[in-house]
Structure 1
Amino acid sequence: MAERGRPKGASGEESRALLLEIAAKEFAQHGYHETKVSSIVKGASLSQPTFYLYFKNKEAIFEELEDLFHIQIIDFTKKSRLQPELEPKIIKERIIYNVGQLLTFLAKNPDLTMIGFYLSTKSDEIKARMVRETKDNLDFEVEAGYFRKDLDTYMIAEALIGIVERLTFIQLLPGIKQPGEIAEFIVDLLLNGMLNEENNNQ
């Protein structure tokens, strides 16, 4: 007999994916310590024996969600590197697109984002890896001639990831601003600064 809420003939992969989805929601809403295996299986309309077919315990499913976020966020960071010989007029547009893609991923996966950025004990490690990947991208882009050679790429990488993290929490996840809006703001701030043209030319 099929479990309640599970389509007849649903595969083990579907059940496992459903458990991950519900677990992410439970952890994001209630935190690690308040989330129970019983609440995860109830939300998934599956049994506890089904849970233990796929995961050893609550820690195991949480760690898999941490790793899933880590892998995907680093993949987005690596893909944001500008390729050589872009036309100058499209450089800013391409950077906005790349930052927007990252923010879109975070917005579409709010529960995973809460876990990876804010709940995970590995969150500092994840963000440090993002900084390193971003610095590598910037070093490549400096050599490609897109940015000044005197830039402190480590400081810029730290600033960029810090801005992304903070605006994700206070603007993106609450739905106050959309990914594209935040991307344009971040890129305009970093590339153009805050001074108006008159003061900038003095």
Structure 2
Amino acid sequence: MSNRGRKKGSNGERSREQLLTIATKQFANNGFYQTKISSIVKEAGLTQPTFYLYFKSKEAIFRELTTIFKSRLLSLTEDSLLDSGLKEEMIQEEIRGKLGAIFHFFNENPQLTQIGFFQSEDAANLKKSLAESICSNLLQEQREGYFQPHIKMDVVAEIIVGIMERLTISRLFTSMSEPEELAEQVVELLLFGMQVHR
């Protein structure tokens, strides 16, 4: 077996994961342009040739991190589709739990979120894809009779993405609110509004 083959065994996978972990931290803290391959490998305790075994360039490792973030976020969003036939009293609880899972993902992966949701040049396209996925769910749920038929779900989807984006910066990353608390507030607002019904 060649040295390259040995490197890509279990030790190699650990080295690759270590590079991804350190790169995530450095990109999130320093930005793409200020992060250097030399600083990533130094902190990881590895060499530059080891880096190039797994990633062709700084752009390649950054792109992999944004792909990981996008894949996980869109998977959570697809999974947030409500089951059919829910009783009315369960709808709020289900939505709160599914939105809370997304806020938990952001909260548990702040550096990856910083890269994928805010720093990446592809962040705008990601948010567009996120809104489309949310809209698709909402339209299906609207057909199930969960939501009022006259509401424009493409607008609601954009509102939800904007809320998620802003609250992640202002409340999650500052530790002012927990994911469940944010999910509860968002669901309360979207399902019941602000007006007092007399």
TM-score, with normalisation over the residues of structure 1? 0.92
CA distance in structure 1 between the partners assigned to 2:81 and 2:173 by the alignment = 25
Cα shift at 1:10: 5.7
Cα shift at 1:193: 0.7
- The corresponding residue for 2:82 is 82
Q: Deviations over 1:141-174 (max 9, x none)?
A: 0011100111100000000010001100111112
Aligned residues: 190
What is the aligned-residue RMSD (CA, Å)?
A: 1.0
- The corresponding residue for 1:138 is 138
Q: Deviations over 1:32-51 (max 9, x none)?
A: 00000011111211111111
- Structure 2 letter corresponding to 1:11: N
Matches within 5 A, 1:87-102: 87-102=87-102
User: Structure 1 segments of 4 or more deviating over 6 A?
Assistant: none
Q: Deviations over 1:79-120 (max 9, x none)?
A: 000010011111100000000000101111111100011100
Identity rate, percent: 43
- Gap runs ≥5 in structure 2: 1-8
- The corresponding residue for 1:62 is 62
CA distance in structure 2 between the partners assigned to 1:42 and 1:188 by the alignment = 48
CA distance in structure 1 between the partners assigned to 2:189 and 2:60 by the alignment = 40
- The corresponding residue for 1:167 is 167
SS of structure 1 residue aligned to 2:194:
coil
SS of structure 1 residue aligned to 2:62:
helix
- Structure 1 letter corresponding to 2:152: D
CA distance in structure 2 between the partners assigned to 1:79 and 1:146 by the alignment = 17
- The corresponding residue for 2:31 is 31
- Structure 2 letter corresponding to 1:148: Q
Are positions 1:197 and 2:197 aligned together?
A: yes
Q: Deviations over 1:14-42 (max 9, x none)?
A: 11011001101000000000000011111
CA distance in structure 2 between the partners assigned to 1:55 and 1:166 by the alignment = 33
- The corresponding residue for 1:124 is 124
- The corresponding residue for 2:156 is 156
- The corresponding residue for 2:73 is 73
CA distance in structure 1 between the partners assigned to 2:170 and 2:18 by the alignment = 28
